[in-house]
Structures are given as structure tokens and as C-alpha cells.
Structure 1
């Protein structure tokens, strides 16, 4: 009989102790050790220990009733072995609804709850493992993109240096052609003045001979060659035919080249007569050496030739400077600490949402195109706007087309970790304010500690 009483007493004490510590996390169990009195965790009151979990609220913070619903501010701890432990309001304890996956909150109700913690834990563990695999793969891809970004950055720097050298060379050529054009214009002006003043034919002729010789001497080496005669001299009655080498040598007096002195006494006379051969114009179409005044005509052609050359060099110089300006502008953008975002430059990513197609061109602009073909700017590249810990987690595109309610459209792009680079979603939470989810490996960030699924025993 005494053994039965002792056994019953032990079971009752075990039940009382189990009742009293119900709803407590392992980190708080030290406050609920069996003793004569219990101090509310907020320190506001001391009560007899038997009043803990007696379904009557004595402490203002509800710490004396962790396992019942007596205290309005109380919390019940779900152990959830195999899944994530968490707290629920104590008002949900024994309310007939299972809030803890281990059903520990319905220990004294008619609810028939199954323990689903293991299945939930399995699913979450699988999800976390998948996320970690994605992260690992994304970090590997990110490292590759970082290496590509560094190489691309160096290539663009080298390209900039090359363009700057080309610009310097073109600047020298530009100054040289400006000088030559100035000299040609001066010669033309002098010839015109000489004609108007009735200057002697000898002076006019000497000046014209030199001008024609310079016109034929393309490489300006002081002598005429077979190639130069073929390029600029044509047969009068067959203007499209190119002179043969023998014909060109004949005009050069039987040799392969001719200086100014020899030109003055041979080829000049043949060109002046104009009955067999003549000089082509600067555009390649045959023209007559003799116009109203052959001397002025020759000088005018020389000036036009220099003007065309100057224009070509000026256009090339302007084009190179524009390329330098664009390249400097692109290099001035913040592409990340390791230039990992550089590969996104000059790329565009599309996503169709209902009747609209959205296009994100990183570091450039965001657009929206309707099925009718109307395209609207949703913002131009503005800045990085992420958190202090990761400023490269968010992009802002500003000053898009005006909204009908006033103000301009803008887009915020959030970058998330993924194994591919793609535009994932577009939303418009408020009028003309857009939010985009942009997935890319370069948004992956290493974690110090993997978040695990655990339970407190």
C-alpha cells in the first residue's frame, strides 16, 4: 500500500512539474526551478511557486503563466522538435486550434492535432539546402563574372588610351591640313588678284605650274610617279579609261618619275594643250584643265582638294573625341568593388506582364512598351540605393516620362541572388512608381553562418 502511495506521489509531482514548465524555452528554464517562491521575470512581484501555471495571472508580464492562457500579455513557447521553435500568444493555448506543429499548445483541449514538425522541417531543410546550393553556384558564377569584369575594365582602359593616342595623331594631322588649306586659299587669292590686276602671263604660268605639280604629287615627295599620273590624268576622249603603265611612262618622258623642272618643260605643255590628256577633278570624275582661265581653275582645284582633306580629318577627329567622351562616361560608373556589374553594361533584359513589355537596360534606362507599340520611359539610370551593408542591392532609375497626375516616372530595381541573369517581376505599387526584381549571380553575397533548422529540447 505504501509503495502505491509513493508511486502515485511521484507521478503527481512529475505531472505538476511538467505542468509548471510547459511553454518555457530551455533558455528560460532557470527561472522556473522548483523552490518556495517565484519572482516575476520583470522583477515586479514575488509569489509562492505553487502559483506558477495555476491558470491565474499574478505577474504583470505574464511570466507566471507560460503554459496557460490566463495572462493577456503571456507567451507560450512551441518546442517544435524537428522544425523551428517559436512563441505564440498565450491566448491561443487550449483554444481548440493547433498553433504549434508539435500540438503542445493544445495539451488540455478536445482538439486532435498531429505532430507535423518533422514534415515541415524536412520541407524547410530541403528549401534551405536548395537556397544554399543556389548561393554556392551563384558565388562561383559571380567569381567568374568578377574575373571577366576585371579583364573588361582593363580592355576599356586600354581602348581609352588607344583612342587618346589616335586623337593626338589626328590633332597633328588636323593642324597640318589646316596649314595646307590656308596656303591653298592664299595661293587662290593671290592668283585671283593677279588675274584681276592683269599680271604678266609668265608669273601666272609659273605659279600655276607649281600648283598643278603639287596637285599631281599626292605623297608630296617632290616627284611624280607612274601611279600618281595614272590616278590623276585621264584621256580626253575616253575619260573612264585608266592610263596604262606605258602611257604613263610616256607622259613622264620615258622614265618612272619626274621632278618639277622636268614637268615644267614636258608634261605641263601636254596638259596645257588639252587635246590628248587632261587632269581629273578631286572627286575622280574627269574635268577640263582649261576653263575660263586655266591657271585659276588649277589653283581652285588644289584649294578644293585641301578643303576636302581637312573636312575628312575634322570628321574623324570629332568621331574619336565622341568615342572618348562616351567611354569616359561609362568608365565613371560605379560597377561594384570588383567591377562585377560591368558585364551588365550595354545589355538589356525584357519581361512581358499582361499587355506590357518591360525592358531593363542596366546603367542606362527602363522602358515600358504596350501592345500598340507605344514606348514610355520609366526612368534613366540614377544611382545605387541599397543598404549601408550592401549598397549594390538596389538600383534607382529616375526622371522618366511625366505621369498624367504630375511628376515623372521612376523605377526601383532590387537585385537578388540567382544562377542566371534575368528580369523576374515588375510591379506598380503606386501610380507611375515601379518596382522590379532583377536576379543575377553578382547579387549573391557569402554568408558567415548557414541558417539551420533546430529545436530546443
Structure 2
């Protein structure tokens, strides 16, 4: 029905346009020519002959008598732009040599080429793109409605058992914490014992590595000294046997002492005359030579006289300043004693003695420390290690949370949203869960996550099921629960959170609450926040957010038009309506329907 009427209006406009150039079809009723006169449309009432319309002279103050010329400064030229969008052009641009209308009607005929079909094609593509975008927005709106319904249904399903579920999960977390603590203590004790054992083994190995070269040399020295002592002992034993044999041979001679010899000996003792007990010279000479040869064979550095002097001092053979001949047995015993005298110790023997003493001392200290560790400070050290490990773990988790928050804040700054506040703790890797303690920690972490989700579900049930909140038509705005959106201005950042608060922030500090959730306007075109922080001499702050259809959720144009009264704009597919898409589709259909008609009219007009 509308298409025939539009074609009829177009035909009438074209017919009238043949007589009156630049005429706006909406004003065609004033240009009927009845009575062969024309009355000025506005301003001072004036009637002129109809023949003076478009005579390139301005008769009416409103310029209505010259719609197709540039005679009146306030005149308006109507571009038909067949096949495209019509437009009104200032009269000053008429016949100026520049083609302003796509159909060239503003210039002399034949000056401009008709480009309306090309412009129409571009416009048609823009319409198609806009329709596609609105269809996507409507699809997102349908998803929001479905998500809201699913969310509410899930809360209803959980509401019956949420209390019991939370209580049971809390007991499970408590049990797993106790299990983790027990396994952690056992693991810490085992690690401490292994560390102590490794430390002791390492200390012994390092000590052995440091002492090994000295011990090898000392061992070789000991072997050499032992060999020398054995050789000397064998030689001494051999000489001792010889002396014993000589003594045994001499003893019978002494037992066979004659009466004369006995008399001389006794006489020499009473008279103190050594010559009295002297033996024949030949015998004494023989005995002296044999004794001297024996001393030389033994390798003694002393002379016979020196030996006799020393031996006499040891045996007390000086009797009142007189010398007495030592007995053969005494001489043999003294020589044997001197041969068996221990040699002086070497530097290596001193070193080995020091090493032996040090090893004994170190062993005693290690034993003492081990006993002190096992009986005294072991529990304190294990407790300190466990506490330090927990602090390190907490610090690592906090650093990870801060890093994640910084990344989320950067992403939120780019898309205008606040980063989510829920964070997951570190999930143990496969290597960590390979031990009983790691598996217990993984189970505890999972149980804690389940408990957090149950507690959140419990809070959501109280807020979104029994909180007496309005979520809009079909609960569509429930899809924005726990979501916040930001608008970054030159100085201030405005942020709104659905069903919560609205804030004004300078950077990431100095946050001011400009309002708390008050609900929607009756037509669901505005969000109302009130009861914010007090403003001096005004009262509580307020904020109003105007909502409209948009391709995505976006908060924009945060401002303060009144003292402590803030405004902003919010677009979302949730605000889109089918009527807008319907109007765009109708416009596209009409444009496509005109293409053939316009082509025929353009061909006729060019003739």
C-alpha cells in the first residue's frame, strides 16, 4: 500500500517539477496557480502574479517565490536525487557551476551527470551492514534472556540443599587441612633427617678429601719406618744372640777363675791399685782389640774411651774418683740398649699425629651435635622451616594474584570493564601431585574451590532470588549481575555496577561513591543511583545513566552537569528492539523497489 502511494507522490512531484524548478513536494499545495496568483507562504502577506515565480527576482521576504533560483538569500532548493536520498540545498549553491545534487538539478540541464544510482548502491550496502549489526544485537539479546533464565533456574535448583552442601563441604575442607598438616609434618621430618644425613656425609667426604694426600704420604712413611725398625730389630736380635753366646762362652771361664786370679782381684780392690788385677798384656790387648772391632761394626760414632766414660757414668763405675773396668755383661747390655733406642720422629709423623687427634675431636663433636639435634632443637627447626615454607607459599600466591590483577586491570582499562575479583589459587602440577603430600594439597585446593563456589551460590540465592530486585523484561538485565562498566574521561573515571554501586575515581585512587542502586525507570531507559556520599551543602550524591540500543556494552560520556549530580550513557544489545530492524528492512526494500522506476525516469529526464 505504501509503495503505490510513494510512487504516486513521486509522479506528482515530477509533474510539478517540470513547471517549478527546485520545488519541495511538501509545499506543492502553495504552488497550484489558482487564480494565476501566488501568495507568499510566510512573513508579510503578499500576493504576486504566478508568472513571477522563479523569475530570478526575490519578491517574498521568505524567498518562497524563488525555489529554483539563487535570487533570495534565504531560499531553499530541493534536490530530488531520484534513486537516492533527497536533500534541501541553500539557494546560494544553485547555478554556481558545482554539482551539489546527485541528479544535477541544481545546475543547468546537461551540465552534471546523474550519479544517484551509484550513491544509492553505496547507501544500500550501508543499510545492509546496519541491518546485519542489529540482527547480531538482537541475537545477543536473546542469549542474555536465555542466560538469565538458566541462571535463575540453577539458583532455584540449588536453593533447597545449599545449606547442607555448604556445611558438608566445610567439614571436608577441615578434614583435608588436618590431613595436609599431618603429611606436611611427616614430610618435613623426613626431609630434615635426610638433610642432616647428607650434611654429615658431605662433611666426612670433604674432610677425607682434604686429608687424603697427607694420609697416603704418612702411610708410606710409617711403612718405611716400620721396615727400618724391623731390620734394626732383626739385626739387634742377631747381635744380642751373639753377645749371649759370647757371654755364655765367657761365663764358664769366669766360673773357672783360678785362685791366683781371685787373689789379684781381691788385692786390687783393697789396695786401689789397678795393676794388681791386671791380666797379661797379650790377653788385655786381645780383649781391647775385640771390643774396638765390635764397636766399629755397630757403627757407633763414639770412641771406646768415650763409650767407657759414658757407660761408667750410667753404671756408677766411678768409685771415689777411681776407674773400674766394666763387666763384659754390662758392656753388651749398654750396646744393645743404644742400638734399640727409638729414632727421632719426622714431620710426617707429627702431621699424622695431628690428623689423628683432629679426627677424634671432629668425631666427638659430630656425635655431640647429632645428639643435640635429635634430642634438643630438631622440633624447633622443623617448625621454623614449615613456617618459613608457608610464608614463602603465601608470598608466591600473593605475587601471582597481584600480577593477574595488573593484567586484568590493563585489559579492563582497554575495554572499559572492571576486572573480575575472583581468583583461583595455584593448581599443583603433575610432579607435585605425585607424592602423598602433593595429592593431599591438590585435593584440599579443589575442595576449597568447591566451597567458595557454594558460598557464592548461597549469596546469589539470597540476592537474586529473594532480594526483591527488578531485572527488567524477561529478567534480561540479570545477565549483567556482578558486572561493572567504566568510562575513562580526561580526569575522572566513572564506573557503574549493576545492582550495586556507582563510583567516580581519579586514576586508581580517591574513589567516591556517587550512588547506590535504586533500580530502573518505568520504561527501562534509565538506571537510577542515589544515596551516595554526602556532598557539601547539597546532600547525598546521585547518578542517572541513560540506556539505549547499541552493538556492545559501553559506558560513555560521564559528566557532572549539576553539583554532585552525575550523568552517563550506556549502550547494550539488551536495549535493542525489533521495530528498529523492521524499519531498516523496510527502507532497504523500498530502495531496491525504486531502482527500476528510477532508471526509467532518469532516462526520460535526460531526453
Q: Which has the higher strand share?
A: 1
Q: Which has the higher helix share?
A: 2
CA radius of gyration, larger in: 2
